[in-house]
Structure 1
Amino acid sequence: MSQSNPRAYNFNAGPSALPLEVLEKAQQELVNFQGSGMSIMEMSHRGAIFEAVHNEAISRLRKLYAIPDNYEVLFLQGGASLQFTMIPMNFLQVGKKASYIMTGVWSEKAYKEAKLFGEPVQIASTKENKYRNVPSLEELDVYSDDAYVHITSNNTIYGTQWSEFPDTGEVPLIADMSSDIMSKPVDVSKFAMVYAGAQKNLGPSGVTVVIIRKDFLAMANKDIPTILKYTTHAESNSLYNTPPTFGIYMLGEVLKWMEDQGGLTEIAKQNEEKAKLIYDVIDNSHGFYTGHASKGSRSLMNITFRVADEELEKQFLSEAKDAGFVGLNGHRSVGGCRASTYNSVPYDTCKALSDFMIAFQTKHQ
């Protein structure tokens, strides 16, 4: 932080930074939304005002992400963690297997939940390499009778990301995109289903976006609890039960902000420039900083690294905190440092970290 910029340099992994313009607009509209005399949080989710907000958010998401008409867009709750359960509950039929590609903790959690409902199999894993990379496409062996193949597109803890997605042919491909959804253009038609918690690139915590192909949806198991059926939410426009109204409103405002940035092509360019600022410092530090992820698998969303030795690393994190940097500690399971540079993290925030890292190395080398 500085006197001219009282906001923290926010690198939190999630919930994460939101655009200042969106926060300021929400502040202005918080008490009296569209002249209603109520906050968006106080009004009925079945009333005309919220329904318009809800539908506009879906429309903007469809347009920005170029989602084909044969896909449903759902706003659910429970985060990606509930999706780990709902997916096998809905789509892992008796006598079928589901293939999971293991690239980190979140794919491990998804696989664990699938074991409660049937026979998931691990068709590839980079665990032996401490999840420093994602598997090469040549390593994958997809079986034609699989119920689905599941991947995690970006791995927040280890800082790895798929740059190219596997082609699973007729087997439905499902992607957990919680930490890189809408960070770049993606051909949604390659997937039977994409899902993501909103709290990294799309808004505050509490909303989970599900994009699901209609013919895949039609294959879902029937004999499961009503609220855990995707068809329930598709048939009711995600209004079967009370949705997280404020979160959906905020998601819609973040999508407007993305449009104002120039859409996903421009967002992707900005994300590449931001990440390069930090990766260049790591690569040019002659070992003072070392990245965790292999170069070919590096994430543009989560930059994971270590400092030369343990004591210096503690000092780095302490001095960074004093300088106004927030969220630079690595995940508790692996330690180290992590800078999460999601869509809403400004270029100037990444430049400030780059400058701080260079100055710290110069002082302590």
Structure 2
Amino acid sequence: MTKRAFNFNAGPAALPLEVLQQAQEQFVDYHGAGMSIMEMSHRGALYEQVNNEAQSLLRELFNIPNNYKVLLLQGGASTQFASIPMNFLRPGTTGAYVATGSWAEKAYKEAKLFGETAIVASSEADKFNRIPDVSSLVLPENAAYLHVTSNETIEGTQYQSYPDSGNVPLIADMSSDILCRPVDVSKFGMIYAGAQKNLGPSGVTIVILREDLAQDSPKTIPTMLRYDTHAKNDSLYNTPPSFSVYMVSLVLKWLKEKGGVAAMEQYNRDKTNLIYNAIDNSGGFYRGFAQPESRSIMNLTFRLQSEELEKLFAKESEAEGFVGLKGHRSVGGLRASTYNAVPLESCQALVQFMAEFQKRHG
């Protein structure tokens, strides 16, 4: 077997080896049909089964209540940044946003194109190295929704608990941490996530939407951007990203076999504790970027004494088979993304490399 890289890419990210091997086996001939899933009609019984299975597995694993729709869409989370205000930001209402970093800012900027918006909490003054206190948020009286970014991939921060928005629908971008830990879905009006970090390959976007919010989108917005279009057509209004949906279905089966979301949270904490301990016990050679109480269990950001040293770390780690440890170009530094499919062995290897690098350059 070819040697697998230690893949710490931020997205598209590591997929479980067992899933890739299963997809490889079924690639040319799916269930005896004499063709690949990519060649099939999305109206046929075989694909319909895949579509239904992906939705029901997600319902089961994430404990999604019956009064929520599961939609399988395209266009990534970035399209949802615009779809949300188009569908929910009516004249005379305000879209409320919590500013936690690069992705929250992108969502906010899109909403500003469509109507009134307000930032109700922000950690910008601290360079987004923490999640702001959201325990007693004051929302605009006419708030249409409250939007949060559950996990900031670039800065490496994550909500430890979510705000209580009362009667105002809480909407969360969970692109980079969906299914990394159990969540009470009933607290949210909507959860959305691009698949390419924890759910599968790029190409499909998951939307979990409370039924009352899915019913009547404004008639003035394009058909494809209306939530009721996809809710009424079981995500088959147009040709879906069928191969990506199939891969999501395989990943969800894998997650179920691993013991589900609670077991995955423990596994993720075991992995990230290893790396955070290596950072914290390095005597200041490595410095965590995110404040400890806001640290992410999906994206671990850290710095070294100088940019030269960081570049050297990235270069030497690549030579040792590590991929994706360079921080995002907008903030620099280093970052290890430890999504569900990243094995414990990769994290152990990284900790070993970090210790050796410190010996050589400390």
Counterpart pick for 1:50 among 28, 35, 47: 47
Q: Does structure 2 retain, via aligned residues, the 8 Å contact 1:161–1:298? A: yes
Q: What runs of 5+ residues in structure 2 fail to find an aligned partner?
A: none
Match of 2:178 in 1: 181
AA in 2 matched with 1:229: R
CA deviation vs aligned residue, 1:101-123 (integer Å, no higher than 9, x gap): 00011111111111111001111
Q: CA RMSD in A?
A: 1.0
Work out the CA distance in 2 between the residues paired with 1:220 and 1:99: 19
Match of 2:280 in 1: 283
Aligned-residue offset at 1:144: 4.2
Counterpart pick for 1:65 among 53, 62, 71: 62
Q: Does structure 1 retain, via aligned residues, the 8 Å contact 2:216–2:228? A: no
CA deviation vs aligned residue, 1:10-53 (integer Å, no higher than 9, x gap): 00000000000000000000000000000000000000000001
Counterpart pick for 2:91 among 91, 94, 119: 94
| TM-score with structure 2 setting the length | 0.98
Work out the CA distance in 2 between the residues paired with 1:222 and 1:273: 48
Please say which of residues 156-165 and 218-227 is displaced more in the overlay: 218-227
AA in 1 matched with 2:166: G
Aligned-residue offset at 1:5: 7.1
SS in structure 1 of the partner of residue 86 of structure 2? helix
1:209 and 2:206 aligned? yes
Q: Does structure 1 retain, via aligned residues, the 8 Å contact 2:195–2:201? A: yes
1:141 and 2:138 aligned? yes
1:20 and 2:17 aligned? yes
Aligned-residue offset at 1:352: 0.4
Match of 2:27 in 1: 30
| TM-score with structure 1 setting the length | 0.98
SS in structure 1 of the partner of residue 39 of structure 2? coil
AA in 2 matched with 1:33: Y
Aligned-residue offset at 1:151: 0.3
Aligned-residue offset at 1:237: 0.4
Work out the CA distance in 1 between the residues paired with 2:139 and 2:264: 33
AA in 1 matched with 2:130: N
Q: Does structure 1 retain, via aligned residues, the 8 Å contact 2:189–2:209? A: yes
- State the identity %: 59
Aligned-residue offset at 1:317: 1.0
Counterpart pick for 2:231 among 214, 231, 234: 234
Match of 2:254 in 1: 257
Counterpart pick for 1:309 among 306, 310, 332: 306
CA deviation vs aligned residue, 1:187-221 (integer Å, no higher than 9, x gap): 00000000000000000000000000011223532
CA deviation vs aligned residue, 1:275-299 (integer Å, no higher than 9, x gap): 0010001000111000110000000
The 3 A distance-change label for structure 1 pair 206 and 320 is same
Q: What runs of 5+ residues in structure 1 fail to find an aligned partner?
A: none
AA in 1 matched with 2:175: S
The 3 A distance-change label for structure 1 pair 5 and 33 is closer
Work out the CA distance in 2 between the residues paired with 1:140 and 1:217: 26
1:247 and 2:244 aligned? yes
Work out the CA distance in 1 between the residues paired with 2:18 and 2:65: 30
Q: Does structure 1 retain, via aligned residues, the 8 Å contact 2:30–2:37? A: yes
Aligned-residue offset at 1:310: 2.1
Q: Does structure 2 retain, via aligned residues, the 8 Å contact 1:330–1:338? A: yes
Work out the CA distance in 2 between the residues paired with 1:216 and 1:76: 16
